[in-house]
Structure 1
């Protein structure tokens, strides 16, 4: 019975991280694996559980949503939902060993993006002498690729969205955060539909409900907290979480 409150707290932390700046999967996925779930099952269960938290965060930000560059909200959301579904199909079709082998490297890639994305954006802006401006098609295409990654794995996909928009459009991360939360909800929601039908995530209903309840509370509270915490502190928390999780995954071999 001790597992249930621990999983609930983990869900709250993951939901809050997703609402604040991304990286909730870095917390939820390893925790479920530690409680004995296979990696693919844990991945599907965490995605299902984090959807309500992402929706709660998007609801808090509903009045601050805005188009990303030239891409409309509807086209961006359609790309997120479609890509999330494609990624979920890939996860369900590929053997579990493929996910176990890819997970550490996906985590490492996400960590690098988190650590150096802002510097890369500034460097590109300096090189071109002006902020980059991606076309609407390029923004939507990039969003689709990230959504596929998000549906398959999900780790730091929200952080990657901010990195893409910052690098390609010069958007401020704080201003783009509401849209990131909304797109994260779209990616997770489409993946969840497939996971509920085709995965064995429902084989651990108590863990699912516990993490779901925690994620809703964390997502709602995290969206409010995001407006108050200093940006350097948020980046530090996310980076420490990402680096620690990546190291642990590589040590697991």
Structure 2
């Protein structure tokens, strides 16, 4: 990795950490950046996953006020996130790289659709909040399990999936739901990262640059990200995601 590439990956990490705290699709920034610098898709994916974990930690610190009173919910759903993440990580490591190259463009495309429909989803969720099970019931647990599998395998926009699920099944403010999302996404990434550190091909320079950037971005995103124009943020994510799809299809 050249010095200029290191700066670019660090900057992508800052953006990804902030986006993950606010929306939940930061991998659509860092993953394409690593692909653009010539990293193989599997190496880029696992290095990106491990590197974004510190950003999740600082994001949680930034949302500590909104996390008050959510321990029981997070313990229950956190178990689903961990189980799903292990399953998704094992799928990534055992399926051939050719399968990853086919599956991931589809997953990125679906993620971009979720990014675009998020404002409409939020309005729809606001109209559906009534009396809810305090912990969401078994359907929410299974949904979070599925999101964990997705996050362990690839993970871009898993935060948006989690916001949708939590908003449907829980009667909580959007800020508390977003805080819970940050914790659950951190559990997914951390669990997969532990697996990847021992058995997956990592590039530690890429991990370090993404980690340093995501730590800065994760905290700033949690504290200041609510002031960013949502339309601009979604536009950047969509453009970068399209670039990632093109890179994968042309590889």
Structure 2-normalised TM-score? 0.88
Aligned equivalents of 2:26, 2:196: Cα separation in 1: 18
C-alpha distance after superposition, 1:72-118 (max 9, x if no partner) = 22011111122112111111111111111111211111122222244
Aligned equivalents of 1:131, 1:124: Cα separation in 2: 10
Indicate conservation of the 8 Å contact 1:49/1:215, yes or no.
Answer: yes
1:179 corresponds to: 180
2:236 corresponds to: 241
2:205 corresponds to: 206
Aligned equivalents of 1:154, 1:209: Cα separation in 2: 19
2:66 corresponds to: 64
2:22 corresponds to: 20
Indicate conservation of the 8 Å contact 1:107/1:242, yes or no.
Answer: no
Indicate conservation of the 8 Å contact 1:51/1:185, yes or no.
Answer: yes
1:103 corresponds to: 104
How large is the Cα RMSD of the aligned pairs? 2.3
Show structure 2 runs of 5+ residues with no match. none
Indicate conservation of the 8 Å contact 2:32/2:241, yes or no.
Answer: no
The verdict on how the C-alpha distance between 1:104 and 1:183 changes in structure 2, with shifts beyond 3 A counting, is: same
Aligned equivalents of 2:122, 2:223: Cα separation in 1: 27
1:55 corresponds to: 57
Indicate conservation of the 8 Å contact 2:31/2:244, yes or no.
Answer: no
Residue 60 (structure 1) shift: 2.1
Residue 216 (structure 1) shift: 1.0
C-alpha distance after superposition, 1:29-65 (max 9, x if no partner) = 0001111111111000000000011011112222321
Indicate conservation of the 8 Å contact 1:23/1:238, yes or no.
Answer: no
Across the two proteins, how many residue pairs are aligned to each other? 244
How do residues 106-145 of structure 1 correspond to structure 2 at under 5 angstroms? 106-120=107-121, 122-123=123-124, 131=130, 133=132, 135-145=136-146
C-alpha distance after superposition, 1:147-195 (max 9, x if no partner) = 1101101111001111122233464433311111111111100000011
1:38 corresponds to: 40
The verdict on how the C-alpha distance between 1:174 and 1:124 changes in structure 2, with shifts beyond 3 A counting, is: closer
Residue 5 (structure 1) shift: 1.3
Aligned equivalents of 1:25, 1:73: Cα separation in 2: 23
The verdict on how the C-alpha distance between 1:132 and 1:245 changes in structure 2, with shifts beyond 3 A counting, is: farther
Aligned equivalents of 1:60, 1:122: Cα separation in 2: 25
The verdict on how the C-alpha distance between 1:160 and 1:67 changes in structure 2, with shifts beyond 3 A counting, is: farther
Q: Tell me which moved more, 146-155 or 157-166.
A: 157-166
Q: Secondary structure at the match of 2:39?
A: coil
Q: Secondary structure at the match of 2:186?
A: helix
